[in-house]
C-alpha cells in the first residue's frame, strides 16, 4: 500500500523548474515508468511535487515506484523519504517532439574553437548543451541561460586546432525539460561555416590634400598571424548627396579615397570560408577628422 508523506518541504514543483535537475527520467505518453530510489533503505514513502494526493496512478514496491499510464499531469518531482528525511528525487517528464521548432543557430567570432549558440523553446523550459568534439570525445554539459523562450549557451572545443583542416564536423546536443516534457535537438557544423568576425577596430580618417587616408586594425579577437588568417575588408562611405558607396580592400589595412565622403565605416570577413560579414564599425565622421587635422596644423 502506498503511503504518502503530507509534509510540504521546499520541493520544486513541476511548474517552477528553474534549473536542470541532477536526476530525471523520460517516459512515453500513456506508458508505464519505473522510478528507483537511490538508497539502502528497504521501506520508503513517495511524494509527487510534495503533494499528499498525486495526480497519477502509482504502485510502490520498496525502493521502486511504478507510474501507470504516464500523462502530462503525472509529470514532475517524485521524491522518496525515510520518515521526514529526503532520500532521492527524480524528475519525470513525457518524451517531447525532438528538435521541432527549436531553430538552433551558432556563431563563432574567430578560429579559436569557442562559439555561442542560441535557440527557441518553451518559456517554462530549462536547457543544457554539450559538444561531441572533433576528436570524438564528449564534452561536459553546459547549463543554458534563457529568457522569454530564447535560450543560449557558450561552448568551446579544446581539441580544435585553427591551423589544421576541419575534417569532421562538431555535433551540438541540446537537452531541455519543460514543466511536463522532454525536448532534445542535435545539429552538426564546421567552425569555418559559422565564423562571423567582430568589427575592425581603430578606424582613423585623415585629410591628405584632396584625398582621405583611412587606416584600421583587425578585430582584437581575430587570430594571428595575419598572413595566415587573412581578412577581406568592406569600406562604406557616404557622399554629400546621401549616396552610400562600398569599396573592398584585401591584403591591406589602409587605403585612400578620392571621393568627398562625409563619413565612413568598415566591416570584414574571412575571404576563403564563411561569407558572413562582421557587424559594421561605428560611423566615423570625416568632417570631425578634417577639423582635427586643421587644428593640428
Q: Tell me which of 62 and 99 has the higher pLDDT.
A: 62
C-alpha–C-alpha distance, residues 60 and 74, integer Å: 15
Element (H, E) at 288: helix 286-296
Q: Tell me which of 67 and 17 has the higher pLDDT.
A: 67
pLDDT the model gives residue 209: 77
Q: pTM of the predicted model, to two decimals?
A: 0.77
Q: Say if CB 47 and CB 5 are below 8 A apart.
A: yes
- Cell triple for residue 28? 512515453
Which one-letter DSSP state was computed for residue 276? P
Domains of the chain plus CATH, in order, are 14-95 (2.60.40.10), 105-193 (2.60.40.10), 201-296 (2.60.40.10)
Q: Tell me which of 213 and 273 has the higher pLDDT.
A: 213
pLDDT the model gives residue 51: 77
pLDDT the model gives residue 297: 40
Report pLDDT digits (tens) over 187-218.
999 999 999 999 999 999 988 877 899 999 99
pLDDT the model gives residue 90: 95
pLDDT the model gives residue 196: 95
Amino acid at each position: 500500500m502506498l503511503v504518502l508523506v503530507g509534509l510540504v518541504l521546499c520541493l520544486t514543483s513541476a511548474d517552477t523548474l528553474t534549473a536542470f535537475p541532477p536526476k530525471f527520467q523520460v517516459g512515453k505518453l500513456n506508458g508505464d515508468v519505473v522510478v528507483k530510489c537511490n538508497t539502502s533503505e528497504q521501506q520508503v514513502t513517495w511524494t509527487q511535487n510534495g503533494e499528499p494526493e498525486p495526480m497519477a496512478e502509482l504502485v510502490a514496491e520498496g525502493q521502486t515506484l511504478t507510474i501507470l499510464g504516464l500523462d502530462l499531469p503525472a509529470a514532475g518531482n517524485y521524491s522518496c523519504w525515510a520518515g521526514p528525511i529526503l532520500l532521492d528525487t527524480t524528475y519525470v517528464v513525457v518524451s517531447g517532439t525532438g528538435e521541432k521548432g527549436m531553430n538552433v543557430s551558432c556563431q563563432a567570432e574567430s578560429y579559436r574553437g569557442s562559439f555561442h549558440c542560441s535557440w527557441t523553446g518553451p518559456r517554462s523550459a530549462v536547457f543544457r548543451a554539450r559538444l561531441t568534439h572533433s576528436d570524438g570525445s564528449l564534452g561536459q554539459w553546459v547549463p543554458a541561460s534563457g529568457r522569454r523562450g530564447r535560450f543560449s549557451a557558450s561552448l568551446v572545443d579544446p581539441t580544435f586546432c585553427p591551423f589544421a583542416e576541419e575534417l569532421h564536423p562538431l555535433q551540438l546536443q541540446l537537452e531541455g525539460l519543460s514543466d511536463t516534457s522532454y525536448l532534445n535537438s542535435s545539429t552538426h557544423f564546421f567552425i569555418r561555416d559559422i565564423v562571423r568576425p567582430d568589427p575592425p577596430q581603430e578606424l582613423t580618417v585623415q585629410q591628405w590634400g584632396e584625398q582621405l587616408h583611412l587606416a584600421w586594425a583587425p578585430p582584437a579577437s581575430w587570430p594571428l598571424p595575419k598572413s595566415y588568417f587573412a581578412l577581406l575588408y568592406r569600406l562604406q562611405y557616404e557622399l554629400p548627396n546621401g549616396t552610400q558607396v562600398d569599396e573592398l580592400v584585401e591584403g591591406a589595412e589602409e587605403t585612400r579615397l578620392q571621393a568627398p565622403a562625409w563619413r565612413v565605416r568598415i566591416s570584414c570577413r574571412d575571404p576563403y570560408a564563411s561569407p558572413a560579414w562582421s557587424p559594421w564599425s561605428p560611423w566615423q565622421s570625416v568632417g570631425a577628422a578634417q577639423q582635427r587635422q586643421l587644428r593640428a596644423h
